[in-house]
Chains A and B, each alone.
Chain A
Amino acid sequence: MPESPRPRVAALALAVGLVLADSSIVVLALPEIYRELDTSVSGVTWVLVSFNLVIALAAVPAALLARRVGPGRAAAVGLAIFAGGGLACGLADELSTLILARCLQALGGAAAVTAALELLPATVGSERRAATVWATAGATGAALGPAVGGFLTELVSWQSVFLLQVPVALVAAVPILAVAKHEMATKVIEREVRQTGRPHLWANLALAMVSAAIAAALFLLVLLLIEGWRLSPIEAALVVSVMPLAAILGSRLTNLVGDSRSRAAAGAILVSGGLAALAFLPKATIALTMPPQVLVGIGLALVLSALTETALGGRAPQAIHGGWTISSRHAGVVIGLLVLTPIFTADIEEQRHDAINAGTAVILDSPVNPLLKIDVAEKVSERLDDEQGKVPTIGPAFEPKPDDPVERAEVDQLQGELQDQLDRGATHAFSTSFILAALLGLIALFPIALSRRVDL
């Protein structure tokens, strides 16, 4: 009786989902890492940048290697390296160690993901079906990543985000080992006979730009929610889950319109529209982040699938072209993070300064009894120092409240106004970065316009 391909397909999908989730799974853990490893926003960004940079650089060479040594072996070894890197990440007690371990994870991940695309056609029976399984697994992983990361960070620790990946990667490697053994025993490495087409420049360029915008959307929104609006990782995970849910809705639209360029253009416009709306939030309220997230989510489902389809369409070998799309997407994430991090870091500092000044003005102008005011001002100042540059929770500075109802009402009003100024500063600090990210999405329309699908 022939062996069922299901466990192998599931293992390959799990491997792809796991590796591509790793690009985003750590986003909600970043504020915790930032605090625990006593680093800066720019420093902690490298936990994301290093992983994406190494994948961007290694994806195509890894695909070539997979074809040379055999995709089964490449995938199995890749997953083992990925698991080892995850273990090292979980045990890291310094930022530099964590970043190095992330690079190791990315190397293994690049090998596993590109080899999976080489293995899937033979396992599922067709290149088209293989591409669909590969893209769906990747999108599901990327979509679930932030929520899973948020829950693990809050319920266990940021280290658990990495440590949990170790057994999952090893479980995924087991069914693939059979292929690797078969390759070693027979010394036969299946190769694509056809080698058609150079990488699709315009589709891959557009993928890079759109990925930069999407990465910025997720990264900036998470920072705004946790660092600016003081949400817990689980709360933030629930809030940003709107994006993947909307992406599921968007993937249904994919079937309604066949023209991939139109889907890509509409997706890029929606991503940019959502980002622009996030730049102009009229209040620091979670509900107001929902409509922009819906636009970004639907947009990313449309644009990523359409551009991947165009980039891979009729080209072979799939692993190499898949390597190029992986490389473009992760290079885009790196560019987005590297361009926007210094901008919003400077903006956060400036807005913090403006918010503290505005808060001081609110305290000075308040009708509250001057002695009570001085007490509040001292406690707020202490909280600002304790929070080391982050937006503080000011509630405790107003305790205990005065017994006199008139004074109490004045103090409540002062607390509300002060919190409002801090919220305004925190929210406004992200505006320029969201606008720039929206522009990146709009600029992607140029390569999209040139990215005609050519079946070779």
Chain B
Amino acid sequence: MSGEDRGGGLILIFGSILASLLLVGAYLAAGGSSYEPKKIQDPCQPREWSDPQNLGQIANQFTNSALDGAACQLGVSRETLAQALASPEARERFAERYGIDDEKLARAIRAGLVRAVDDAEEAGALSPLIAVPLRQAVQRIPLDQAIEIINDAQGFLGDVEGFLGPAKGIIEQFLPGGLEGLGLP
């Protein structure tokens, strides 16, 4: 092999190394090592409530808090639980995979709804007057109804606000802490 050939060979090898490193380096610098699906949050950690502007936003955050609370109790992610509650078939698959019966699921969802009421109250989205009876009500409701509340928190909260809204002042004045008998869902 001639000296010229060796020199050409070395240039080719070092050129290849340089081109490879430059390209890989550029891709890494552009975020190539972190281009993966978003990491999901631990449901046992508190999720911050943003300042809600309307009932829809309250409902969204209420649902998230309820799912977080239930998921934390069941030891699964909020997202896994949300997928499980999407349909009866999904719920069956979830129950089979994680060995969670309806009773255990109901307890967890009720606990989640209590956490949602707590969070909503703390964020100022629910008045204590509504929060107290609501907290007690959700601890007694059957599983299917509890799931319905999570899936349609807006409807649920709308009903509650609609029912209590006009009478809120009077109830606060005259019935502090005594709303269990009002037939809340």
Contacts and interface: CB of A to CB of B under 8 A. Distances in A.
Q: Do A and B bind each other?
A: yes
Interface of A: 253, 256-259, 261-263, 265-267, 269-270, 272-274, 276-277, 279-283, 288, 291-292, 295, 299, 302, 351, 354-362, 364-367, 369-371, 373-374, 377-378, 381, 421, 424-425, 427-428
Interface stretch (B17-25, B107-115, B133-141): B17-25
Shortest beta-carbon contacts, A-B, top 4: A273-B20, A262-B9, A280-B32, A358-B37
A273 B16 contact: yes
Interface of B: 1-2, 5-6, 8-10, 12-13, 15-17, 19-21, 23-24, 27-28, 30-33, 35-41, 56-57, 59-60, 63-64, 67, 77-80, 82-83, 86-87, 90, 151-155
B23 A351 contact: no
Contacts of B23: 273-274, 277, 291-292, 295
Nearest to A259: B9
A270 B36 contact: no
A214 B174 CA distance: 79
Contacts of B10: 262
Contacts of B37: 351, 354-355, 357-359, 421, 424-425, 428
B154 A371 contact: yes
Contacts, number: 157
A364 B67 contact: yes
A282 B36 CA distance: 9
A371 B152 contact: yes
A2 B28 CA distance: 62
Label chain A's interface by main secondary structure.
helix
A357 B40 contact: yes
A269 B16 contact: yes
Contact of A277 (B9, B24, B155): B24
A288 B32 CA distance: 11
A137 B83 CA distance: 54
B5 A257 contact: yes
Contacts of B31: 282-283
Contact of B78 (A292, A354, A355, A361): A361
B178 to A, nearest CB: 30
Contact of A364 (B30, B35, B82): B82
Nearest to B81: A360
A262 B8 contact: yes
Contact of B19 (A265, A295, A354, A358): A295
B6 to A, nearest CB: 7
A381 B19 contact: no
Given A258-B1, A377-B86, A276 B152 contact: no
B12 to A, nearest CB: 4
